[in-house]
Chain A
Amino acid sequence: MKQRESFFHLLKPDHLYAASMFFAVITLLLVSQVYIYLYIKKRRFRIISQINHQINEWIGMIISEKEFPVIDLTKELKLYLKKEKNREFLIDNLIKIRKNLTGSAAQSIVELYKNLQLKDDSIARFKSYAWHKKAKGIYELYMMDQEAELPDIYLYTNSKNEYIRMEAQTAIIGFWGFEGLTFLESLEEPLHEWQQLKLLEQLSTLDIVPLQNLSLWLRSGNEYVKHFALKLTDIYRQLDMHDLVADCLQSANVKIRAQAIKSLGRIADDSTAEILISHYPTETNDNKKKILQQLATIGNNNITSFLEEVLKEDDDFLKLEATRALVAVNNDVKILNKFQADKTMASIARQIQYEQA
């Protein structure tokens, strides 16, 4: 019994009861929190529908192109808009309309934003130390054309926080277009693919201007910048960059090499096919496949022997791409007829025949 007594010395049932009580109280607190939250949410729903109603009225005014903006808020709405959260909801909705429209309607929305003094909110968020507020502030200022804040925003294009950085970069491009890309030169932080995609989508709506510093970006010490520059070379067919792009094939980063292969295909000259062929043996299978795809579009029948060599590879994907390229560079589907003996090759040939038909 001695052992048991010593155990109880440490752990008396009373302790457990006390702990149970503690947990029970916590549980009750959490449950009441759940209900308080649901109640607040329900009340907010009413407020939100009122704000929405007001927005719809404003839209009506904007469309009828009356004297605008007329801000005549009800007492209730005034009270609601004293709360920052409700004003943020209003801003979010104005941005949504602004995003989809151009022309006078969009201008009216910006006017409305200014007249309601919502800019103060955006500035306050921008000055905040919390990353998500700061990023949101930048977003609002940019969506509402507040160009005056641009110099301050520019400072954040190399922020340590990816979201602040991303919004700042978007804002700069938004105002300056392609010229805004200068931030790439001082960028030390990553520019991951999501950011790249966001910037490319944004740029796609603008008219291209000469990319003065593209060669700098292609030589950047920041791998992400290099990757992004390769994409720009590809999309905007920057033929002058051929040699710099070819240098990128030596990169240790597989993504950079993959994009370099693709870009080379887009800006190919007489030397490109040979460069790709000599690079071929050192590549991963995925990139080999990409090389073959590019060769299919840029090669001529001089590379037939190389492609036939590829048919000896183990990977069927490479065989398939090589066969496709063979048909393309010789511009002749009949070339497939000679592959009937080998089972795999015959199957590949059937697929290509089907695709061509």
Chain B
Amino acid sequence: MTKILLIEDDSLILKTLELKIRKEGFEIFCSADGKEGLEKLHLELPDVVITDVMLPFASGLEIVSASKKIKEKDIKVIVCSSMGQEHIVEEAFNLGADDYITKPFSLNELIIRIKKQIKGR
């Protein structure tokens, strides 16, 4: 089953996205902070990582960078940003991010982007 790691610091949003992604039939791991996110990244080796830009303990950019350093697997990264963070998205792409999505977004759009990444692997 396709593994997805979701890192987002707002518990309510995390829960919402988790429910949606699970309903689509993916195996999902969640983390509310960057540090734990990094740990789960190395432990679970997910197929796709969805990460917020601003996270406690470690930034989304660190997540991108760490995901791309993992040799065992081609991990796809989707960066989730708020409006006005284009410059950060640019940095994320420089570090190897595969896609980005801007808040607010529709749940279906997120799923489409996840599927696109999985197909592209």
Contact = CB atoms under 8 A, between A and B. Distances in A.
A55 B15 CA distance: 10
B87 to A, nearest CB: 12
B107 A63 contact: yes
Select the residue from A56, A102, A104, A202 with max chain B CB neighbours within 10 A.
Answer: A102
Interface residues of B, number: 18
B84 interface: yes
A59 B16 contact: yes
A253 B102 CA distance: 37
Contacts of A97: 12-13, 16
B105 to A, nearest CB: 6
A64 B19 CA distance: 9
B104 interface: yes
B12 A201 contact: no
Interface in B1-35: 10, 12-13, 15-16, 19-20, 23
A106 interface: yes
Given A63-B23, A102-B106, A205-B83, A56 B15 contact: yes
Interface string A43-70: 0000000001001100110011000000
Nearest to A106: B104
Given A55-B12, A56-B15, A103 B106 contact: yes
Contacts of A96: 10, 12-13
Given A60-B19, A63-B20, A63-B23, A102 B105 contact: yes
A301 B18 CA distance: 58
A213 interface: no
Contacts of A202: 83
Nearest to A98: B104
Nearest to A64: B23
Nearest to A103: B106
Contacts of A100: 10, 13, 16, 103-105
Interface string A315-348: 0000000000000000000000000000000000
Interface of A: 52, 55-56, 59-60, 63-64, 93, 96-106, 200-202, 204-205
Interface of B: 10, 12-13, 15-16, 19-20, 23, 83-84, 102-109
Given A201-B83, A205-B102, 8 more contacts: A60-B19, A63-B19, A63-B20, A93-B12, A97-B12, A99-B103, A105-B106, A204-B84
